[in-house]
């Protein structure tokens, strides 16, 4: 297999794009495409301050590397979840995020759950009904809450996450199976800040497969955490990804078509009524002042105040 651009030996073949590339051209192609998508989907401009949610994994570090190479001003935010039983997931991922920032002289903000809130995610999950069995629900809502709070307090215009195509398609697949129309109406590569106190959220890597992002991170020599969070084992999302990978194997491009067709349907107004309802139903938390769909206190304040 030869590189489409220079005819040297290709190191990656992207069947869904009918495109093979050598290392050098692949490492140029990825940021070029990211810049194109940032512009196409109107994610942010060069004048805006970007905060990247950094987990220490390949996606968020690859995103930070790409935005740095493209000359966008961006800081990182790492949230120490305190998931340290077994493989020391949080400790290792925090060290890798820090090392990445230090070697490139980038600014990394850190929020440590234990230091800031007095409890780790597994501890909060253990004492709340919401977290019974698995801490993912508590973890997800805490991360969303903290990311928005730090972005807003720091005066950032936009919060970028490293979600890739496989992540997005797995979520869409799950929502479609259950016909979760309100979730589908909110799923997008760009979520505008349509309520006071919200920060725009963007996913600049949403058109790249997990394999492409992993290849980019490896070829750039990025040191990231290879292990998944131990709580991800057996998750629905991983199960959906396996099914979708089987489909992609037989029909390359299926994932991208599924996701882009969904975006097209949204653009044509398929979920317009539901999107409007979501905006109208946002309130302000009576305790912390952050936007919430709940009336009274937001879910985060409720789990933190519940003894």
DSSP state of 18: T
Among 1, 6, 232, 272, binds ligand Q46 (CB under 6 A): 232
Q: Nearest to residue 237, comparing CAs of 167, 152, 177, 284?
A: 167
The reply on whether position 207 binds ligand Q46 by CB under 6 A is no
The reply on whether position 229 binds ligand Q46 by CB under 6 A is yes
The reply on whether position 57 binds ligand Q46 by CB under 6 A is no
* Binding span for ligand Q46 by CB under 6 A among 96-104, 107-115, 226-234, 263-271: 226-234
**x/- string (CB under 6 A) for ligand Q46, residues 22-51?**
------------------------------
Take residue 78 and report the two structure tokens written for it.
Answer: 């790492």
The reply on whether position 303 binds Zn ion by CB under 5 A is no
CA distances from 171 to 40, 163, 271 (A): 23, 11, 16
The reply on whether position 275 binds Zn ion by CB under 5 A is no
Q: Nearest to residue 125, comparing CAs of 78, 83, 89, 80?
A: 83
Extract the runs of DSSP E, i.e. beta strands, from 113-192.
Answer: 158-160, 190-191
Take residue 183 and report the two structure tokens written for it.
Answer: 């979730």
Question: Residue 136 touches which of ligand Q46, Zn ion, none (CB < 5 to 8 A by kind)?
Answer: ligand Q46
Phi-psi sector, 253: left (phi>0), alpha (psi -120 to 50), beta:
left
CB of 10 to ligand Q46, least distance (A): 32
* Binding span for Zn ion by CB under 5 A among 20-28, 59-67, 108-116, 117-125: 20-28
- Burial status of residue 246 (CB atoms within 10 A of its CB: 0-12, 13-18, 19 or more): exposed
Q: Count of residues binding ligand Q46 (CB under 6 A)?
A: 8
For 200-226, letters b (16+ CB in 10 Å) and e give bbbbbbbbbbbebbbbbbeeeeeebbe
Among 76, 80, 94, 135, binds ligand Q46 (CB under 6 A): 135
Among 5, 114, 186, 195, binds Zn ion (CB under 5 A): 5
* Binding span for Zn ion by CB under 5 A among 23-31, 114-122, 156-164, 270-278: 23-31
Among 6, 32, 126, 140, binds ligand Q46 (CB under 6 A): 140
CB of 197 to Zn ion, least distance (A): 10
Q: How far apart are CA 174 and CA 110, in angstroms?
A: 32
**Binding interface with Zn ion (CB under 5 A):** 3, 5-6, 8, 22, 25, 285, 287-288, 298, 301
**Binding interface with ligand Q46 (CB under 6 A):** 83, 135-136, 139-140, 229, 231-232
């Amino acid at each position: 297999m030869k590189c489409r651009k220079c005819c040297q030996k290709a190191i990656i073949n992207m069947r869904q794009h009918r495109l093979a590339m050598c290392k050098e051209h692949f490492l140029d192609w990825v940021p070029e495409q990211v810049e194109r998508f940032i512009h196409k989907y109107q994610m942010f401009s060069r004048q805006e301050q970007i905060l990247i949610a950094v987990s220490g994994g390949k996606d968020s570090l690859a995103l930070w590397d790409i935005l740095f190479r493209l000359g966008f001003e961006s800081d990182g935010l790492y949230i120490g979840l305190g998931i340290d039983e077994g493989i020391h997931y949080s400790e290792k991922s925090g060290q890798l995020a820090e090392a990445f920032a230090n070697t490139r002289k980038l600014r990394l903000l850190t929020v440590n759950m234990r230091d800031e809130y007095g409890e780790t995610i597994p501890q909060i999950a253990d004492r709340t009904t919401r977290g019974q069995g698995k801490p993912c629900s508590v973890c997800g809502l805490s991360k969303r809450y903290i990311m928005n709070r730090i972005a807003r307090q720091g005066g950032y215009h936009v919060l970028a996450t490293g979600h890739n195509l496989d992540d997005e398609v797995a979520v869409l697949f799950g929502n479609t199976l259950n016909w979760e129309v309100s979730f589908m109406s909110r799923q997008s590569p760009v979520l505008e800040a349509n309520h006071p106190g919200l920060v725009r959220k963007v996913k600049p890597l949403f058109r790249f497969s997990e394999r492409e992002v992993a290849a980019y991170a490896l070829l750039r020599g990025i040191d990231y955490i290879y292990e998944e969070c131990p709580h991800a084992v057996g998750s629905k999302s991983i199960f959906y990804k396996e099914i979708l990978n089987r489909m992609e194997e037989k029909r390359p491009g299926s994932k991208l078509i599924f996701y882009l067709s969904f975006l097209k349907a949204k653009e044509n107004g398929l979920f317009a009524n539901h999107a409007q309802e979501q905006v109208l139903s946002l309130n302000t938390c009576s305790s912390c002042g952050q936007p919430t769909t709940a009336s009274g206190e937001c879910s985060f304040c409720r789990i933190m105040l519940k003894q």
